[in-house]
Amino acid sequence: MLGRIFLPGRAPAALAPPRRFGRVVANELVKGALVAGSAVPGQRPERVLRVIELQHVKPGKGVAYVQAKMRCVQEMTVVPHKFRSSEPVETVELDSPQGYTVLYFEGATAHLMHEETFEQIEVPLAAFGDRAPWLQEGMAVRVRNHNGVPLELVLPPRAAYEVIETRAGGREGKSDNSKPATLVNGVKVRVPHFVATGDVILINTEDGSYVGKHTSEGGEA
């Protein structure tokens, strides 16, 4: 059964859930928080900004402030802004996470299917940020929406990938405990010397680090 396909930012108003917001003091903002566009001058209200960097500044003179660097979720543009420390900031509350399966990729878009309703959605790979290279067909992901638009996409903490290129084992120096390897998705990682071309290994999708060899039972060797 093929469900309706919603492109980010284009969910029909009649089908979108009510807008849900919260409010925090700027000094309590944390990395990863979602800020409503209406909280930042010059940003359209429907935009949602994800905090990627925060710096709390207490000048010798003047009022303390929070320097934030945010990325617009819909357009992936970087937006810097300075909040007064005590300034109330409107934040975005997301719907409960829903399970989806990655069906296939088309250009810079991932096609996902809801694991229960079989509804299909299209999500720009940019929405996954720097974790996009770890997406694979058949992978189970969690999606949280706001107004019918997927804004937060969570990958499994670890996943298996084939090594397509690495040099033979051996140390280049006494402190050389790893070697470079290229995975089937094109990402280059560091792996132990015993890993060979053709091996399937587990990778931490959060930071791209080696976890262990993938066994035939699906576990870690």
In 21-128, DSSP assigns E strands to: 21-25, 34-36, 48-57, 65-72, 78-84, 88-92, 98-106, 109-114, 120-124
Nearest to 123 by CA among 153, 157, 158: 153
Residue 11 has a pLDDT of 42
Unique residue bearing structure tokens 């262990």: 212
Residue 78 corresponds to which amino acid? V
In whole angstroms, give the CA distance from residue 172 to residue 62.
54
pTM here is 0.68
pLDDT tens per residue, the chain (221 residues)? 333 333 344 444 344 444 556 788 999 999 888 899 999 998 988 889 989 999 999 988 888 999 999 988 877 789 999 999 999 999 988 888 899 999 999 998 999 999 999 999 988 887 777 788 999 999 999 988 887 778 778 899 999 999 999 988 666 555 678 999 999 999 999 999 999 999 999 999 989 999 999 876 666 65
Residue 174 has a pLDDT of 57
